């Protein structure tokens, strides 16, 4: 399945689609007016769950919390930053599964007073926005580790000066602090426990010591770096993830934006696989995954390595997703906005297996008949259900009568439409699994038959939406 969290449009929220483009789960109701970023399957207490950052959007970052929901789309845990940190930011909700003590890595942004006289801010104290992250015990809320960029990375390393981009900030006030660092991903090494951090505005990737917070190494093409980039360049990157490491080599992936809409190091964005040789002090690209067409993502985006060696990529502000096989051949490309929603963005996109038979909801049913002399059209869906193979239809003329089976049809897309052999006033629909077992029933639903006043605006499939007021029906 495909997992996305589009935003900057009225229907923003977490969504699941199948690989044919059919909607599986609409999660708008769980986030309401807030955004859902980094929406994906995560392991929590040994079981697959869904995790995402629930955010109120700010200029280039977010303010909110991390949420974990179960197979029935119920919230089972929320995670907030601790100590004196600002609320969690949109850029990372990384659950580190331990069945006894699971943790989560959250990022955050904090504005601090800072001497920015070296950047032409000389009429008083300036404001610096620093990036930070914490690893937090999900159950207790205890902060196990935290790291602040201003304590380790000097603003002179930034490649985005004050008041030079739409999200840089001018540094003159707290609400427009200079975002010199722009942290956008944190991953934890399974072998060392150290952290790999991506920072967009310094175009650098850092490896952080989990014991003393020091920077063990830095990789950058344009700035300060401990390694020579032998066969690639990169800039304004996102989503650095460790693949493997040993005493001499570290392999990781990241999404190379190669642009921030103002400056550019390549004509198109891409997913890059990099191997660092710690003895030779070199960084070598071993694989590059190109976009479907020439896509340059000015912001956001991610590169997900799949279990079969393939790669799934989200193209950030361009609203594209793509899947590539182990040989980089394109196997899927999709654009999930229409021409009227060109402003919609998606921070990250993922591909995961997922199974759900929601325990706290029922199939939704709507039955329609143009007249009581004709057949019914019955619409049925079950938001989030992935295990339905067949819908079985039961009907009666009176709510107190026995409901009898009148037909069945295969599950087709998000909403299945079935035409009954004759008119019935009441319906109930049963969801059936591939093995023939019942998954659950809908509530009893009456059939809608339009009145004579509406008849001219209806056909066999339904009635058109009202567009204005008409004469009063008597």
Q: What residues pair up with 368 in beta bridges, in sequence order?
A: 377, 448
What's the mean pLDDT in 249-270? 98
What's the mean pLDDT in 284-293? 98
Strands (E), 175-301: 178-179, 183-188, 195-199, 204-208, 215-220, 228-229, 238-245, 249-256, 270-277, 282-289
Residue 473 lies in a domain: no
HEC letters along 360-413: CCCCEEEEECCCCCCCCEEEEECCCCCCCCEEEEEEECCCCCCCEEEEEEECCC
Residue 471 lies in a domain: no
3-state SS assignment for residue 294: coil
* pLDDT tens for each residue of 36-79: 999 999 999 999 999 999 999 999 999 999 999 999 999 999 99
Residue 204 and residue 182 share a domain = yes
Read off the pLDDT band of 336 (50, 70, 90).
Answer: confident
Read off the pLDDT band of 32 (50, 70, 90).
Answer: confident
Residue 399 lies in a domain: yes
Read off the pLDDT band of 472 (50, 70, 90).
Answer: confident
Burial class (CB in 10 A: 0-12, 13-18, 19+), 14: buried
Residue 43 and residue 74 share a domain = yes
What's the mean pLDDT in 176-203? 98
What pLDDT is attached to residue 29? 87
Residue tagged 């890595």 (tokens)? 105
Residue 453 and residue 323 share a domain = no
pLDDT of 338 strictly over 80: no
pLDDT > 70 fraction of the chain, expressed in percent and rounded: 99
Residue 441 and residue 385 share a domain = yes
Least confident of 45-54, 187-196, 335-344: 335-344
Q: Could you give the number of structural domains in the chain?
A: 2
Read off the pLDDT band of 342 (50, 70, 90).
Answer: low
Residue 346 and residue 216 share a domain = yes
Residue 162 lies in a domain: yes
* 391 and 416 Cβ atoms separated by less than 8 Å: yes
Residue 400 and residue 252 share a domain = no
Edge-first strand listing for the sheet containing 238-245: 228-229, 282-289, 270-277, 249-256, 238-245
Q: What is the CATH number of the domain that holds 264?
A: 2.120.10.30
Residue 322 and residue 448 share a domain = no
Q: Which residues contact 362 (CB under 8 A, 6 or more apart)?
A: 382, 440, 441, 442, 443
Domain around 316:
2-351
What pLDDT is attached to residue 474? 62
pLDDT of 184 strictly over 70: yes
HEC letters along the chain: CEEEEEECCCCCCCEEECCCCCEEEECHHHHCCCEEEEEEEEEECCEEEEEEEEEEECCCCEEEEEEEECCCCCEEEEECCCCCCCCECCCCEEEECCCCCCEEEEEEEEEEEECCHHHCCCCCCEEEEEEEEEEEECCCCCEEEEEEHHHCCCHHHCCCCCCCCCCCCCCCCHHHCEECCCEEEEEECCCCCCEEEEEHHHCEEEEECCCCCCEEEEEECCCCCCCEECCCCCCCCEEEEEEEECCCEEEEEEEECCECCCCECCCCCEEEEEEEECCCCEEEEEEEECCCCCCCCCCCCEEEECCCCCEEEECHHHCEEEEECCCCCEEEEEECCCCCCCCCEEEEEEECCCCCCCCCCCCEEEEECCCCCCCCEEEEECCCCCCCCEEEEEEECCCCCCCEEEEEEECCCCEEEEECCCCCCEEEEEEECCCCCEEEECCCEEEECCCCCCHHHECCCCECCCCCCCCCCC
Which tokens in the block code for residue 111?
Answer: 């504005």
Residue 462 lies in a domain: no
Residue 244 and residue 174 share a domain = yes
DSSP type of residue 29 = H
Nearest in space to 260 (alpha carbons), one of 310, 204, 317, 210: 317
Residue 129 lies in a domain: yes
Burial class (CB in 10 A: 0-12, 13-18, 19+), 378: buried
**Pairing label, strands 126-137, 178-179:** parallel
Q: What is the CATH number of the domain that holds 446?
A: 2.60.40.10
Write down which residue in 351, 374, 398 finishes a domain. 351
Element (H, E) at 112: strand 103-114
Residue 219 and residue 104 share a domain = yes
Residue 468 lies in a domain: no
Q: Model's pTM, two decimal places?
A: 0.96
Q: What is the mean pLDDT of the chain?
A: 96
Q: Count CA atoms closer than 13 A to 416's CA, side-chain side.
A: 24
What pLDDT is attached to residue 340? 60
What's the mean pLDDT in 303-323? 98
* pLDDT tens for each residue of 148-173: 999 999 999 999 999 999 999 999 99
Residue 178 and residue 73 share a domain = yes
Nearest in space to 371 (alpha carbons), one of 453, 455, 445: 455
Length of the chain equals: 474
What's the mean pLDDT in 207-233? 98
Residue 398 and residue 312 share a domain = no
Residue 359 lies in a domain: no
pLDDT of 434 strictly over 80: yes
Residue 328 and residue 425 share a domain = no
Instruction: Please state the φ and ψ torsions of residue 464, each to the nearest 5 degrees.
Output: -70, 155
């Amino acid at each position: 399945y495909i997992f996305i969290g589009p935003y900057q449009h009225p229907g923003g929220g977490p969504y699941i689609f199948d690989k044919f483009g059919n909607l599986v789960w609409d999660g708008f109701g769980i986030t309401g007016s807030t955004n859902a970023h980094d929406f994906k399957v995560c392991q929590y207490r040994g079981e697959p769950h869904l995790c995402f950052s629930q955010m109120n959007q700010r200029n280039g970052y977010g303010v909110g919390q991390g949420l974990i929901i179960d197979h029935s789309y119920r919230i089972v845990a929320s995670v907030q930053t601790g100590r004196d940190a600002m609320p969690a930011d949109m850029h990372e909700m990384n659950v580190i599964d331990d069945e006894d003590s699971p943790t989560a890595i959250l990022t955050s942004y904090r504005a601090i007073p800072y001497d920015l006289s070296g950047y032409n801010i000389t009429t008083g104290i300036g404001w610096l926005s620093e990036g930070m992250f914490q690893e937090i015990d999900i159950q207790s809320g205890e902060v196990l580790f935290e790291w602040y960029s201003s304590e380790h990375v000097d603003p002179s390393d930034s490649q985005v000066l004050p008041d030079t981009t739409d999200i840089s900030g001018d540094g003159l006030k707290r609400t427009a602090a200079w975002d010199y660092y722009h942290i956008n991903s944190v991953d934890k090494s399974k072998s060392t426990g150290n952290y790999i951090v991506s920072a967009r505005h310094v175009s650098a990737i850092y490896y952080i010591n989990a014991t003393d917070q020091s920077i063990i190494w830095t990789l950058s093409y344009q700035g300060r770096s401990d390694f020579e980039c032998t066969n690639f360049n990169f800039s304004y990157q996102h989503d650095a993830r460790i693949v493997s490491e040993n005493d001499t080599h570290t392999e990781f992936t990241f999404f190379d934006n190669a642009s921030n809409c103002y400056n550019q190091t390549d004509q198109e964005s891409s997913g890059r696989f990099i191997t660092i040789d710690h003895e030779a002090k070199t960084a070598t690209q071993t694989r590059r995954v190109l976009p479907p067409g020439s896509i340059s993502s000015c912001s956001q985006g991610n590169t997900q390595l799949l279990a079969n060696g393939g790669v799934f990529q989200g193209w950030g502000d361009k609203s594209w997703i793509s899947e590539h096989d182990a040989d980089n051949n394109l196997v899927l490309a999709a654009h999930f906005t229409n021409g009227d929603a060109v402003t919609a963005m998606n921070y990250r996109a993922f591909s995961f297996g997922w199974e759900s038979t929601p325990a706290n909801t029922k199939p939704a049913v709507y039955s329609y008949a143009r007249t009581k002399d004709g057949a019914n059209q019955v619409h049925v869906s079950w938001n989030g259900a992935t295990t339905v193979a067949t819908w079985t239809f039961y009907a009666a003329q009176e709510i107190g009568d026995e409901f009898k089976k009148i037909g069945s049809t295969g599950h087709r897309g998000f909403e299945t439409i079935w035409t009954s052999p004759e008119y019935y006033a009441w319906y109930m629909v049963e969801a059936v699994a591939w093995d023939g077992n019942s998954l659950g029933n809908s509530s009893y639903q009456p059939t809608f038959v339009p009145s004579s006043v509406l008849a001219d605006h209806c056909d066999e499939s339904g009635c058109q939406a009202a567009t204005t007021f008409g004469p009063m029906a008597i």
